[in-house]
Amino acid sequence: MKTTRAAKAALAAGLSASIVAAQGCSNVIVPSHALPVVASGWQAQLVVAGLVKPRSIQFDSTGALLVVESGKGVTRHSFTDNGGTCVTLTKSTVLIDQAALNHGLALSADGKTLYASSVDSVFAWDYDPNAGSVGGRPVVVVNNMGNNDLVTRTLLMSKKQTNTLLVSRGSSDGNEAKATVLSSGLSQIRAFDLSASKSRVYDYDTDGTVLGWGLRNSVGVGEHPITGGIYAVENSIDGVTRDGKDIHENNPGEELNFFGYLNATKANQGGNYGYPKCFAVWDVSEIPESDGLGVGKQFAIQENSTLTDETCASDYVAPRLTFPAHYAPIDIKFAADGKTAYVTFRGSFDKTQPAGYRLASVAFNADTGEPVASPDSNDALTDILTNANQTDCPDKCFRPVGLAFDAAGRLWMTADSTGEIYVLQKTSSSPTATTGGTFVTAT
Ligand SMILES: *[C@@H]1O[C@H](CO)[C@@H](O)[C@H](O)[C@H]1NC(C)=O
Ligand SMILES: *[C@@H]1O[C@H](CO)[C@@H](O)[C@H](O)[C@H]1NC(C)=O
Ligand SMILES: *[C@@H]1O[C@H](CO)[C@@H](O)[C@H](O)[C@H]1NC(C)=O
């Protein structure tokens, strides 16, 4: 990105970047719906509109932004950086014209191989970041992932274990029982060491290392920047009952799960996280026969002689944190200092009062790489960007999806249903409230 002379001069004169943006940003675009509410100590701005379902995003080594537009392909966007959140789109090109690409995106450590996913496969292209082009036809890296309904195949290229690509695959709705069979490859996160062979095509069902299974749909996968701990955010089931009673309004909770490390330490790796048998409690007051249950403990839909809340606890891995039901977490990205994870929540469809629809943060201990909140917390999220009136969701709301940090430490976020990309910058090291920040419109 280019930094303008005015921004440099202002920074040299001691003005903060956010003041520069507030005073001097021209051609600011405004969201199609009500202005988002920004947490104190943050500034946010809409910088791209009119995209086709933007999902995962990733900066290349030149600072251009790569975007998976679901049903279209991968597009590449260049900006002029005027400081603060005042970045101006200068050029957009279609990098990969392939309608089957729908969510996953990753770059190799050297930035010269681009990975993107369809429901069935992970593809790799040679990528020239300076020319902004891919070379020829892609090779298939992982295949045999097709299933209905839960179709995202999230990709994460590890920064700690170079050439290890993580691929998350959800359940097959209507055939949940298959997820109890490891070789089905359903409801899992697997790691593939791509350094072994350039030409190998991995079969998802049988190859790679299983980091975790029994996961309904762990769409967001992140790596803690200090410890290398792998975390994923889980979209749990809809329409849950307990002993025949409908408890779906506030249960089960969405989950943050821990999958150990990609190094030689195998502890906390390969466990079963419970789906489709055990689910995390969010609101215990809704649950019949709730003795021994509480936030984050896992429960059985109907206890019987072999499956009880106790066997859920002893035989399956409980979440490290639990979030409100139906929030629909999609991405998780850690700040470079390892003290915060940012999580997008795309929001509910199966709830009387809409829920989710926000960007929130989770505090982490940088040294241990663990969340600060305990597993029974019902208060681990801090809102960063929310919709003004959630009653209007989803129709009149932005729906957060992909996240990426740029080289200046700003956080970029896609919203798929509105075709938007937002930029957020922290303007205070200790924000105090979930309102009171600045959303930049006209100046
Ligand atoms: C793997 O990483 C973890 C977290 O940084 C560390 O505690 C552990 O010792 C590492 N294991 C090996 C074998 O290096
Ligand atoms: C107990 O419930 C589980 C989950 O529904 C089921 O798979 C299992 O067969 C049941 N066991 C018995 C003994 O009914
Ligand atoms: C929020 O939206 C609903 C539905 O459109 C409307 O009835 C309500 O008045 C709105 N609330 C506020 C505070 O604007």
SS3 78: strand
Q: Given the CA of residue 304, which atom of ligand 2 is nearest to it?
A: 1
Tokens of 204: 């998802």
Which residue's CA is the nearest one to ligand 1's atom 9? 265
Q: Is the pLDDT of residue 197 over 80?
A: no
Q: Given the CA of residue 389, which atom of ligand 3 is nearest to it?
A: 1
- Starting from the edge strand earliest in sequence, which strands make up the sheet with 42-48, in order? 400-405, 411-415, 420-426, 42-48, 438-439
Contact 424, 385 (CB under 8 A): yes
Q: Which residues pair with 144 in a beta bridge?
A: none
State in Å: Cα 265 to ligand 1 middle.
6
DSSP secondary structure, 331-397, as one string: EEEE-TTSSEEEEEE---SS-SS----EEEEEEEETTTTEESS-TT-S--EEEEEE-S-GGGTTTTS
Q: Is the pLDDT of residue 10 over 60?
A: no
Asked if residue 276 has its Cβ within 6 Å of ligand 2, the reply is: no
Q: Is the pLDDT of residue 2 over 80?
A: no
**Residues 6 or more apart in contact with residue 327 via CB below 8 angstroms:** 254, 345, 347, 348, 355, 356, 358
User: pTM for the whole thing?
Assistant: 0.94
Asked if residue 395 has its Cβ within 6 Å of ligand 3, the reply is: no
CA distance 300 to 305: 12
Closest ligand to C-alpha of residue 391 is 3
State in Å: Cα 46 to ligand 3 middle.
23
pLDDT tens-digit readout, 394-442:
999 999 999 999 999 999 999 999 999 999 999 987 777 888 999 999 7
CA distance 109 to 283: 42
Which residue's CA is the nearest one to ligand 1's atom 7? 227
Please tell me the predicted confidence (pLDDT) of residue 67: 99
How many percent of the chain have pLDDT more than 70? Answer: 95
State in Å: Cα 177 to ligand 2 middle.
11
Closest ligand to C-alpha of residue 269 is 1
Q: Is the pLDDT of residue 241 over 70?
A: yes
Asked if residue 396 has its Cβ within 6 Å of ligand 3, the reply is: no
Which residue's CA is the nearest one to ligand 2's atom 9? 306
Q: Is the pLDDT of residue 64 over 80?
A: yes
Q: Is the pLDDT of residue 263 over 70?
A: yes
Q: Tokens 């089960």 correspond to what residue? A: 252
Q: Is the pLDDT of residue 110 over 50?
A: yes
Q: Once rounded to an integer, what is the mean pLDDT over residues 85-102?
A: 97
CA distance 77 to 94: 9
Q: Ligand 2: which of 304, 309, 312, 316 to mutate, most ligand atoms within 8 Å of CB?
A: 304
Which residue's CA is the nearest one to ligand 1's atom 8? 265
Which residue's CA is the nearest one to ligand 3's atom 3? 391
Please tell me the predicted confidence (pLDDT) of residue 175: 84
Please tell me the predicted confidence (pLDDT) of residue 352: 86
Confidence of residue 6 (pLDDT cuts 50, 70, 90): very low
Backbone angles phi, psi at 21, to 5 degrees: -65, -45
Contact 165, 154 (CB under 8 A): no
Q: Pseudo-torsion of CA 319, 404, 356, 380, nearest 10°?
A: 40
Which residue's CA is the nearest one to ligand 2's atom 3? 307
State in Å: Cα 308 to ligand 2 middle.
9
State in Å: Cα 95 to ligand 1 middle.
38
Tokens of 341: 């994870």
Please tell me the predicted confidence (pLDDT) of residue 443: 55
pLDDT tens-digit readout, 141-196:
999 999 878 999 999 999 999 999 999 999 987 788 999 999 999 999 999 999 97
Q: Is the pLDDT of residue 325 over 50?
A: yes
DSSP H or E run through 312: helix 309-315
Average pLDDT, the chain: 93
Confidence of residue 3 (pLDDT cuts 50, 70, 90): very low
| pLDDT: which is higher, 434 or 131 | 131
State in Å: Cα 266 to ligand 1 middle.
9
State in Å: Cα 354 to ligand 3 middle.
12
pLDDT tens-digit readout, 265-297:
999 999 999 999 999 999 999 999 999 999 999
pLDDT tens-digit readout, 326-365:
999 999 999 999 999 999 999 998 788 999 999 999 999 9
Which residue's CA is the nearest one to ligand 2's atom 11? 306
Q: Tokens 């060491």 correspond to what residue? A: 193
Strands, E assignment, 259-327:
271-272, 278-280, 298-300, 321-323
Q: How far is CA 415 from CA 33, 255, 344, 345, 349, in A?
A: 12, 21, 9, 10, 16
Please tell me the predicted confidence (pLDDT) of residue 124: 97
Asked if residue 389 has its Cβ within 6 Å of ligand 3, the reply is: yes
Closest ligand to C-alpha of residue 225 is 1
In our burial notation (b when 16+ CB lie closer than 10 A, e otherwise), range 115-130 reads bbbbbbbbbbbebebe
CA distance 207 to 187: 15
State in Å: Cα 300 to ligand 2 middle.
10
Please tell me the predicted confidence (pLDDT) of residue 136: 84
Q: Is the pLDDT of residue 16 over 90?
A: no
Closest ligand to C-alpha of residue 366 is 1
Q: Given the CA of residue 226, which atom of ligand 1 is nearest to it?
A: 5
Which residue's CA is the nearest one to ligand 3's atom 7? 391
Please tell me the predicted confidence (pLDDT) of residue 23: 55
Confidence of residue 262 (pLDDT cuts 50, 70, 90): very high
Q: Are strands 329-334 and 321-323 parallel, antiparallel or unpaired?
A: unpaired
Which residue's CA is the nearest one to ligand 2's atom 6? 307
Q: Once rounded to an integer, what is the mean pLDDT over residues 373-397?
A: 97
